[in-house]
Every structure is written in structure tokens, then in C-alpha cells.
Chain A
Amino acid sequence: MRHIIIGGSAAAISAVEAIRSVDQTSQIDLFSDEETPLFSRVLLPYYIAEELSKQLLNFRSLDFFDENNVIAHLGMRVQEISPDSKTIRTADKNHYEFDRLLIATGGLPIIPPIPGMDKEGASTLKTMADAERIYNFKAKKAVVIGAGSVGVEASISLKRRGLKVSLLEQLGQVLPTVFDEEASSIIRKSIEDRGIEVITGEKATAFKGNSHVTSVITATREIDCDMVVVAIGIRPATELAENAGIEVGSLKGIRVNDQMMTNIAGIYAAGDVAETYDIAHDMININAIWPCAVEQGHIAGLNMAGKESRYAGSVRMNSIGNFIGHPAISMGMIRAEAEKPGAEAGEEFQEIKKSTKDIYRKLILKSGRIAGAILVGQTQKAGVIGILLKKRVDVSNYIPILMSNSLNFMDVLPLIRRNADKFKEPEYKELMHAGL
């Protein structure tokens, strides 16, 4: 069996580990655009902030490829997949054969159609080259466009490097796809407390300057700067797949079945490039987060190695760590209201909120099951809510317990016991009889 993996990040490396857990001998060739191996993309802001050196960005040790008997082609772009001949062609015009192929090409930063995007001093933040470019810009004042996770973290990293920073978001709040207004306002304050100017509800319309960017223009103001970081989101990198006739879904990600296989037998996709079943939203979605990429790569890898394995689905989860400040976690749906129009008849949404100073907690229920949760300030037990979401447990009678600041695992043990068929892992089973 010959395996080829395109990509070198979370899903790809997880797939390698999964294949090797079953099959130690088959050849694995891994191709990555990145010359730097095994770095964690989500840590690039930490690198820019000088919080982590380059070596500390690694999520696996540098001998990973040797240890796992992987032929790593780093900095080598794959240019074509030929499903009929089961080959790929690389930028250096070599052809490689495969029996099983994994497309883990991730996402590409969305470049907004703003005049002046090509000026010096403007960059996206996705690749190691982007991070190095931003790190090496000799700038004093930065504008970061887009207050998603990458934008917020980029702002903080530049602030830590001593730059003046303005964070510009066209929607009305920071982290608009991750938190609701209430949670966002608490997080916004912690960003502003770090000395970052946060401007929401305004859109960049142009970047001014001759060769180098000198300001960002919005409808109401001109913000002087000598650096712009554009972080308005990512889209799945599907070009290779599309050119090979691999099916892409309505969200522009690669469609896969629950074994992470595309419409072409033997070709798999995982991570930010793939559309998967979203448990919380009960629909196909792209949940482009690290843990989902690792999970999907794992399932893909097992199936590639011939061990049948099915993916229960993904749940979007985001965590605000110490880098940004005030701890906050969100998972699944953010707002019940926004989801309602598409809801099927008979589905009942419920939103329960509780807030005190700097602590905020919200649950979204759909027909008695958790569809989303937001916890700000007090987050240690977030995963207890998360597992009930993932396992689709009816929590109708447990709302006061789940909303309590003193929620703990023991409180939900009776519920887990009642749903024992969904909790078959040994770590749950062995607790089933405790606490009676």
C-alpha cells in the first residue's frame, strides 16, 4: 500500500500517526508547501509576539518523520492529482503513485478586494512566511483588519512588540463568529485594556500609500499606519481537488463521507479543507479548528490503512487563552435566534443566560439537547457541557445544574448513566457504578 498525504499540519500529521498505529511498513509520502516542518499554525501570533521562538512552535518533535518512517517532501507543491492513474504531479515535475491519498491542504486566507492590498507593509497571517514577514516589518503603527481569532491574536502580538495597533472589524463586535454580543463585549474590554484600539462596524475601503502602505481608509476615518495585517477569514484550499474532479460542497469545502473519503474511492480529505457533519448545527459545515482537524485526520488515516472507522461529526469550539486575557470558551451555536429561520418544524430552541461581573454563561438548547454554549470567566467545567453536546444527550431536566457556577462532573453522572449506550469508552464505563 502506498500512501500520499498532501499537507503538513494538524490533519496530515494526525493521519500519519493513525496510519502508523495500524501499519508500520507501507510507504508514506507527505508533501507540504511549507519548508518549515511540524509547526503549529495557530501559534504564529506567539512567534510574532516573541513569546515563542521558532523551535517552540513545533507540535511534534523534529524526528517525527524519521520515527514514523515518512518521506517528507517539504516546500514541495503538489500541482495535480490524477485520480484515474492514481498519481500526483509535483512542482518539480515528478510523478508519485498512490493507493490512498489524503488531501489535507487546509485553508487559504481570504484576500479582500480592497485597493492597495498589494502594497508593501500589507500581509495576511497564515503561513510561516507570512509570520516572518510580519515579524520583520519595521513598523510603528499597525492596522489589523478582521477581529476573528487570528486578527485578535495578531493585534495582541503586535502590541506586545511595541507597535500602536488598531483592530478594525466590519461587523458590530469582536470575534463575531465565535461569541455573542455579551461575551464579545467582555473580551473586547480585555483587548482594549491591553492598549489596542478596537473599531467595530467599520469596513476598510482602501489602503493608501505609494509603494508602502501609509493609511487605511474607512467610511468615516483614515487610520495612519505603516503595516496592515489582513485577517478576514480563510476558505478551503480546494483547487487541487476541484481540478481532479473531486466533489466540492455548497460551502466550498471538499465533501466527504463519514469515513472522510471523497466521492473518489481511495481519496480522502480532512481538516480545514473538508466539509463534515456538524453535530451542534445538525448540518454539513466546515469547522476549521485544530481539534477537528486532528480528529478528522485520525479517522482518515485509520480508513486509509484499512481499519474501518467512522467520524461522529465535528463541533466548533474556541478558547480564549491567556494570550488574549479573560478566559472564555464557546462551542457549537452562538445564537439560537440566528439559527431559527432554517429550523425544522417541531424543533424548539431555548437560550438560557446568566451573567455577573466578568462571568457570563449561556446555553443554547435545541429540542432539549445542547446545541451551543458560551462560558466566560469561569471555564474549567466547559468540557462537561461539551461532552453532553457531542453525545447528543437530552439535558432538559439538568438546566439549573448546567447553568450553575458550581457545575461538576458528578452532577451529570446520573445523566451519563441514563445514556450509558452513548458512553462506552472505558473512562466512562468504569465510573458508571461510582457515586450511586
Chain B
Amino acid sequence: MEVIMVDQEKCTGCHQCELWCANEIASVSKELPLAINEDPQPVPRVYVEGKRFALQCRHCLDAPCITACPNGTMRRDPESGLVFVNEPTCIACWMCVMVCPFGIINPSSSLKVAVKCDRCRNMEFPICVEVCPTNALKLVERKEVPEINL
């Protein structure tokens, strides 16, 4: 499966990925000037951590969020291997938030659903990778798939 990787050398911490993720994925209008005034405010699924480390869901091979979800809202797409939130059934119990080792699941108090990156699984290309002005974000094939236990 393909995951998004950040190249530290190239990331300038410009937050464009956050901005366009929120606009494209979270906003109703999909138009930046309108999106910034929407209520609830659209939130991104990618986080620029520290000064230059854009991080989003890692789509763990053995995903603790799927293990913890008490009603099958957190799912893995059998074909792509991507982990996604089936928002209509999310009950906002925040069990997934509790176990995400990367801290990238947002317990949205306004939307009352768990918000996280699904690597734009319904789009042709992840928006953050597409907009990154320095090509610091790349879609990379996950090479190693070792045997692991929980």
C-alpha cells in the first residue's frame, strides 16, 4: 500500500498542506475564501508538527484504532488497506483517540465524530501531496511488511 511520507529536508513548515486539506476535505464550500468563515471551522487531517514535520494517519498495519472501536466505525478498506472512519456510525466515544500512537485522530467536539486522514481514498491523489510547494510530501509504497503481533 502507498503511504504519505514527508521529506524533512524539503518541508519548510508552510502549512499549505493543512490549509488545503481543511478546504478540500473538510469544508462545505471547497472555496478557500468561504471555507475560512465556515462554522464549524473546517479542520485539517494533517498536522505540521514541530517546525517542519507534516504528519497524518500512518494507516498502521495492525491498527489500534480498529481494535479499540466498539462498533466497527473505524474500518480498513480491504482493497487499499487504508484505515477510515465511517462517520455516520461514529458515536464520539474517543476510544480511537485514546489508542492512536501518533495522536492524529481529532476528537471533534463540534462535529462529534473522530476526524482523521483517510489518505484521500476517494480522490485520485492526496490533496496534501498535490499542493505541497516543495514536494516534501510524497506518496510512497510501503516496502516492508514484517510479521507482527499486537
CB-defined interface of B99-136 with A at 8 Å, one 1/0 digit per residue? 11111111101001000000000000000000000000
Cross-chain contact B70 with A42 (CB below 8 angstroms): yes
Instruction: Find residues 371-410 in chain A having any chain B CB closer than 8 Å to their own CB.
Output: 379-384, 386-387, 407-410
Q: A317-B98, A322-B93, A425-B148 are in contact. Are A290 and B68 (CB under 8 A)?
A: yes
CA distance A58 to B148 in the complex (A): 28
CA distance A57 to B91 in the complex (A): 10
A residues less than 8 Å from B107 (CB atoms): 321, 327, 379-380
What is the distance, in angstroms, from B146's C-beta to the closest C-beta of chain A?
7
Q: A294-B68, A322-B92 are in contact. Are A410 and B149 (CB under 8 A)?
A: no
Closest A residue to B68 by CB, please name it: A291
Closest B residue to A406 by CB, please name it: B49
B residues less than 8 Å from A10 (CB atoms): 70
What is the distance, in angstroms, from A128's C-beta to the closest C-beta of chain B?
15
What is the distance, in angstroms, from A62's C-beta to the closest C-beta of chain B?
12
Q: Does B8 contact A (CB under 8 A)?
A: yes
Please give the number of chain A residues whose Cβ is less than 8 angstroms from any Cβ of chain B in the complex: 59
Cross-chain contact B55 with A383 (CB below 8 angstroms): no
A residues less than 8 Å from B92 (CB atoms): 321-323
What is the distance, in angstroms, from B118's C-beta to the closest C-beta of chain A?
15
Q: Does A139 contact B (CB under 8 A)?
A: no
What is the distance, in angstroms, from A399's C-beta to the closest C-beta of chain B?
17
Q: Does A170 contact B (CB under 8 A)?
A: no
Cross-chain contact B49 with A427 (CB below 8 angstroms): no
Instruction: Find residues 24-60 in chain B having any chain A CB closer than 8 Å to their own CB.
Output: 47, 49-50, 53, 55, 58-60
Cross-chain contact B146 with A424 (CB below 8 angstroms): yes
CA distance A14 to B142 in the complex (A): 26
Cross-chain contact A381 with B103 (CB below 8 angstroms): yes
Q: A311-B150, A323-B92, A426-B61 are in contact. Are A382 and B72 (CB under 8 A)?
A: no
A residues less than 8 Å from B89 (CB atoms): 56
* Contact pick for B109, options A42, A43, A309, A327, CB 8 Å: A327
Cross-chain contact A387 with B91 (CB below 8 angstroms): no
Please give the number of chain B residues whose Cβ is less than 8 angstroms from any Cβ of chain A in the complex: 50
Q: A309-B149, A383-B98, A435-B8 are in contact. Are A409 and B104 (CB under 8 A)?
A: yes
Q: Does A359 contact B (CB under 8 A)?
A: no
B residues less than 8 Å from A322 (CB atoms): 91-94, 109, 112
Cross-chain contact B150 with A312 (CB below 8 angstroms): yes
Closest B residue to A296 by CB, please name it: B150
B residues less than 8 Å from A347 (CB atoms): none
What is the distance, in angstroms, from B61's C-beta to the closest C-beta of chain A?
6
Q: A319-B97, A426-B145 are in contact. Are A408 and B49 (CB under 8 A)?
A: yes
Candidate in B58, B70, B102, B148 with the most chain A CB atoms within 10 angstroms:
B70
CA distance A91 to B98 in the complex (A): 40
Cross-chain contact A379 with B98 (CB below 8 angstroms): yes
Q: A386-B98, A426-B142 are in contact. Are A298 and B8 (CB under 8 A)?
A: no
What is the distance, in angstroms, from A432's C-beta to the closest C-beta of chain B?
12
Closest B residue to A407 by CB, please name it: B103
Candidate in B68, B106, B140, B150 with the most chain A CB atoms within 10 angstroms:
B150
Cross-chain contact B70 with A311 (CB below 8 angstroms): no
Closest A residue to B148 by CB, please name it: A425
Given contacts A410-B50, A426-B143, 20 further A-B contacts (CB under 8 A): A43-B71, A52-B91, A58-B72, A59-B71, A309-B149, A311-B149, A318-B98, A320-B94, A321-B93, A321-B95, A322-B109, A381-B103, A410-B53, A427-B60, A430-B3, A430-B58, A434-B7, A434-B53, A435-B53, A436-B8
Supply 16 A–B pairs (Cβ within 8 Å), ascending by A.
Answer: A40-B70, A60-B72, A290-B70, A291-B99, A317-B99, A321-B107, A380-B97, A408-B49, A410-B49, A411-B49, A426-B145, A427-B58, A430-B3, A430-B140, A434-B8, A434-B53
B interface, CB within 8 angstroms of A: 3, 5-8, 47, 49-50, 53, 55, 58-62, 64, 67-72, 89, 91-95, 97-107, 109, 112, 140, 142-146, 148-150
